[in-house]
Structure 1
Amino acid sequence: MSVTYVIEFDVREGQRETFLKLLGDVLSNMKHEETYRAAALHVSPDNPSRFLLVETWADHQEVLDVQLHRPYRREWHAALPELLEGPRRISMWSPVYT
């Protein structure tokens, strides 16, 4: 069963462009993964430093075991402490009706 991750980010002042570039690289690469289903990045209309990413994948365990360890994610994960005001807020959702 597919899983959707809803991830909230608060980006540090002065880090918006780096955040968007690094995340854009990850999003561009993950579109080619077999278990990828969809992703959309949103920005708050009230705060240009607050973002919401919604990602859907075919299988949660495969995301944990394989996708999070892809080489194209290394630079992104390493940069997060410098890019963000605090930890990402991540929630998982399962489909009920599609």
Structure 2
Amino acid sequence: MSVTYAIEFDVREGKRELFLKLLGDVLSTMKREDSYRGAALHVSPDNPLRFMLVETWADHQEVLDVQLHRPYRREWHAALPELLESPRRISMWTPVPES
């Protein structure tokens, strides 16, 4: 069953461009993954340093076991403490089966 993650980020002042560049690199590469289903990055209309990424994958366990460990994510994950005011907030969602 597919899974969707809503990930919220509060970016540090002066780090917006680096945040967008590093995340953009990850998004561009992950689109080629077989289990990738889609993603959209949103910015708060009230705060240009607050973002929400919504991404959907085919399988949660595959994300945990494989996707999070892909080499193209290393730079992004390593930079998060420098980029963010606070830890990202991640919620997980699954589709409601049609009746």
Structure 1 unmatched ranges of 5 or more: none
State the TM-score, normalized to the length of structure 2: 0.97
CA drift at 1:79: 0.1
State the alpha-carbon separation in 1 of the partners of residues 86 and 52 from structure 2: 14
Amino acid at match of 1:3: V
Runs of 4+ displaced beyond 2 Å:
none
Match of 2:32 in 1: 32
Seq. identity, %:
86
Alpha carbons of structure 1 residues 97 and 45: separation in structure 2 relative to 1, 3 Å: farther
Secondary structure at 1:56 match in 2: strand
- 2:50 maps to 1:50: yes
Structure 2 unmatched ranges of 5 or more: none
State the alpha-carbon separation in 1 of the partners of residues 94 and 60 from structure 2: 10
State the TM-score, normalized to the length of structure 1: 0.98
Root mean square deviation of aligned Cα: 0.9
